[in-house]
Structure 1
């Protein structure tokens, strides 16, 4: 558990860094979000191709890997759109509906065992998300996109666990990058910016950090159940707050900070109960 947790925390630090680079391009340099999304996957595919092309060929006709690829394509597209309109920390706070979606789907569809207290803490975490999003009151366009991104990503997390023991990790990594590239290519045509050294550098940071975070996440999910690792995705919040303040000068509002605090407390409490005997909320996996 400790090794998987360490890998997961590193992975969850890379992802906000990539999104911070994306925000600079979309909100300050006027780069189209679809270009940012497309290049993230292209860079990841080019880095992975020499090492994983054989494994990728083996799963070329497996519909499950393309379904999973479409989920990550939707998630990255939505969150890139979200960070264009809203502060980075607020977006990540709303995005944290993802581990709750993953927890529920892992117990329901994958038949993983979970403790009753975990379920209650997931509900508490959802309350934290509501404090950040405040539906019907102060919801912005960016936060709406962030919630949709979280739904995509939570499903993607569960799909990763579903396939981790059945499909070679090289095949998962490569199709995770190539699939979205193919899906998004028709939409990026005509949306390429003038490439300056600044945009080129930010593009590279965005793509490399995204790829590293998702690859490390795959290794973590091969080592531990999704329902146990999902709470530690909350670690992205700290990175998002620090990067948002350091780069953009954005500080979360009092209610947003309260919501983040609730999410962190709920996620940390789940970790404390990992060693206790579970109450089955679903039957064991076969």
Structure 2
């Protein structure tokens, strides 16, 4: 495939991810508090493992992980379990677009963690962009906090844990095929989540006490599991076909698709303050992106 065709396909796959991911969130919101959050999250990883591991085995991408790699898979799985659980919990109280907009402070957190943990250089302009992005998140959190309380802060926890998840992904993605990485993460997540569900069965602890789903909930769980798996396959291959610097801004389409789904399914429409917060977050994120591209294109000074 020609490079231009590969890039175009990568862009299309990233658009597909931005459209599908909020649909997964809509399924979780439709399930509501009828099922334990841990049960919904575990279902996602059941589908992820059941679909991706056979694909990786068929193409010969599997290998036996050593002790260090196993520990990294478990750490990565723990982070994504926490991130997903907190986000699905937030969706029980908040509009999808609001929760996703607050979550999008994650690139700023990742930028700061890259400086602290990986020694990446960050200029003053990007620090200012991060501050503006966080200010946008506060504009969304403030009215939401008055309505739903601390649940409005849950997407921030998701953003923080997902940023650490992405740092681990950076370190592991170069060593194995993305399908294999996602498949092993699914298995590691099940190794953590399933014992917790069995331990808390009948305990009355809402987040982890599993309940037998009815027919409607089963359908929503199946759709959620399929969408979650497909969307993450889309983003994995999108990153392998097109430069991350090119397709990263496309992820902001999630806010658009989340707003549309929230309006047509739940009759939720962001207010003026929320739209202002979204504008600040997206604008700051795009500034960081274009600043990165500008720095990448600058010629290296001669020694």
- Could you tell me the TM-score, scaled by structure 2's length? 0.79
- 1:162 Cα deviation from its structure 2 partner: 2.1
Contact 1:110 1:162 in 2 (8 A): no
1:284 aligned partner:
none
- Distance in 1 (alpha carbons) for counterparts of 2:121 and 2:177: 24
User: Residue 142 of structure 2 corresponds to which residue in structure 1?
Assistant: 134
Indicate conservation of the 8 Å contact 2:245/2:289, yes or no.
no
**Residue in 2 that maps onto 1:169:** 178
Tell me which of 36, 52, 55 is aligned to 1:48: 52
- Please give the per-residue CA displacement for 1:114-169, whole angstroms capped at 9, x wherever unaligned: 66544432332222111111399637232222111111112212222222112332
Cα deviation 1:62-81 (Å, max 9, x = unaligned):
12222212211111111111
1:26 to 2:35 alignment: no
Q: 1:224 to 1:160 in 2, by over 3 A?
A: farther
Decide whether aligned partners of structure 1 residues 233 and 157 sit closer, same or farther in structure 2, where only a CA change above 3 A counts: farther
Question: Is 2:207 the partner of 1:201?
Answer: no
Q: 1:265 to 1:161 in 2, by over 3 A?
A: same
Residue 8 (structure 1) aligned with residue 14 (structure 2): yes
The range that moved more, 185-194 or 168-177, is 185-194
Unaligned runs of at least 5 residues, structure 1:
281-286
Determine helix, strand or coil for the equivalent of 1:172.
helix
Change (3 A) 1:228 1:116: farther
Higher alpha-carbon Rg: 2
Mark the CA change 1:194 to 1:68 in structure 2 (over 3 Å): closer, same or farther. closer
1:113 to partner: Cα distance: 5.9
In 1, Cα distance between equivalents of 2:102 and 2:212: 32
Aligned residues: 278
- Per-residue CA deviation, residues 1-47 of structure 1 (Å, 9 max, x unaligned), is 776554333323222111110111024xx122111111011111111
Rate the CA distance shift 1:10–1:157 in 2: closer, same or farther, 3 A.
Answer: farther
- 178-187 vs 35-44, greater mean Cα deviation: 178-187
Moved more, 35-44 or 45-54: 45-54
Aligned to 1:146: 155
Q: Which runs of 5+ in 2 are unaligned?
A: 1-6, 202-208, 299-303
Who is 1:188 aligned against?
197
Most deviating of 59-68 and 84-93: 59-68
Give the match for residue 269 of structure 2: 251
8 Å contact kept, 1:102–1:154 = yes
Task: For 1:217-256, list aligned pairs within 5 A.
Answer: 217-222=235-240, 232-256=250-274
Note the aligned Cα RMSD (angstroms).
3.0
Tell me whether 1:82 sits opposite 2:90 in the alignment: yes
